[in-house]
Amino acid sequence: MAKSRRFWMKFALVATGLTAAAGTMWMHRSQSRVARVLRMLSSDYFRRMSPAPFRPALDRWSEEYLTVCWLGHASTLIDFFGIKVLLDPVLSPRVGPVPWLGNIGPKRYIAPALQAKELPPVDLIVLSHAHYDHFDLPTLRQLQKTATVVTAVETSELLDGMSFAQVKELEWDEKFVFKSVRGDLEIMAVEVRHWGRRWPNNKPRGYNGYILRRGERTVLFAGDTAMTPLFEKHRRFGPFDLAIMPIAAYNPWIWNHCTPEEAVEMANSAGARYVAPVHHETFKLSDEPMDEPIQRFSKALVSDPSRIAWRKTGETFLLDRRGSRLLSQRSSA
């Protein structure tokens, strides 16, 4: 009886070891979605988050300028001649579907240039689509509820209970005029090539790019997009002073996310004067090295590097009312 018990204990230990070894081998070699997530979680667990290399000098911002600051990933803060606009605010340490467990999604490599409590009062929040790395509920809950929210169709229900001043869903080619004591800002939703489900088996939701216009200055925000000829059609809504373009998460998700070269090509098709690269160096969402997207983006504009709005998290882009570019106002983090 004792020998039989020892045999089965040894058998269980060996079987457990073989199962663990097989599972580890599968996790490191499989290209399935589950294996990719497990690899990401295992590599993220002990990694420390780096501070943003730069911070916006908010005390030097002026209503006389169009000021655009990259906070990290797709999150961008705009002072549009006095109207504060926040694009796709995602300031949490992780993004994922289970916030009450600290999230189980990707961990930031670089901290946001500003935390939610450091943001100036925001007038308008613009959400491109419902994916967790663009529509972060923990961040949205921290923002001032005096703001108006513009979002894609079938996504406003995610904001239930947050009591923002107004929530407006826009379909493609639909316009909304935000009115304030400082004047009006027009925003129009435009079609891009992506998808909008918050979870793979979730209901279909909208996904937008946006055109923001005030006076003679116009900004194109692509949200998330794969390569598409749509930006050539969007050219008729320009001219665009700045195109904010995603440049990463393309390997192997090329049908949902453009490459850096394609981002430049689409910005060129739209007729943008300057190009701001976003959606890189913050979260590892795909297989390409973290520094590859910005290197390829810079190479794609090597013939005219002055068109690059920024390269690092926390950097700021400025235009005056005539469209002339000014030196960035930033401070080291």
Give start and end residues of each alpha helix (H) in 61-207: 137-142
Give start and end residues of each alpha helix (H) in 30-84: 33-44
Domain range spanning residue 239? 48-332
Q: What is the pLDDT of residue 31?
A: 65
Q: Does 24 fall in a domain?
A: no
Neighbours of 99 (CB within 10 A): 17
Provide the whole-model pTM. 0.86
Strand, helix or coil at 266? helix
Q: What is the pLDDT of residue 27?
A: 46
Q: Does 286 fall in a domain?
A: yes
Q: What is the pLDDT along the chain (333 residues), one digit of tens a residue?
A: 566 666 656 655 665 555 545 555 654 566 665 556 555 555 666 778 999 999 999 999 999 999 999 999 999 999 999 999 999 999 999 998 765 555 578 899 999 999 999 999 999 999 999 999 999 999 999 999 999 999 999 999 999 999 999 999 999 999 999 999 999 999 999 999 999 888 766 789 999 999 999 999 999 999 999 999 999 999 999 999 999 999 999 999 999 999 999 999 999 999 999 999 999 999 999 999 999 999 999 999 999 999 999 999 999 999 999 999 987 666 665
Cα→Cα distances 265→193, 206, 232, 243, 246, Å: 15, 24, 10, 11, 12
Q: What is the pLDDT of residue 186?
A: 99
Strand, helix or coil at 232? helix
Q: What is the pLDDT of residue 273?
A: 98
Q: What is the pLDDT of residue 202?
A: 75
Please list the residues that pair with 110 across neighbouring strands. Answer: 50
Q: Does 264 fall in a domain?
A: yes
Q: Does 36 fall in a domain?
A: no
Q: What is the CATH number of the domain that holds 168?
A: 3.60.15.10
Q: What is the pLDDT of residue 199?
A: 74
Tokens representing 214 are 């005030």
Q: Does 26 fall in a domain?
A: no
How many domains is the chain built from? Answer: 1
DSSP strand pairing (240-246 vs 124-126):
unpaired
The backbone torsions φ and ψ at residue 83, rounded to the nearest 5 degrees and listed phi first, read -95, 120
243, 220 Cβ separation under 8 angstroms = yes
Q: Does 5 fall in a domain?
A: no
185, 169 Cβ separation under 8 angstroms = no
Q: Does 31 fall in a domain?
A: no
Q: How many alpha carbons lie under 13 Å from residue 333 in its C-beta half-sphere?
A: 17
Please list the residues that pair with 16 across neighbouring strands. Answer: none
Q: Does 29 fall in a domain?
A: no
84, 182 Cβ separation under 8 angstroms = no
The contacts of residue 260 (CB under 8 Å, 6+ apart) are 247, 248, 277, 293, 294, 296, 297, 300
Q: How far is 3 from 199, CA to CA, in rounded Å? A: 51
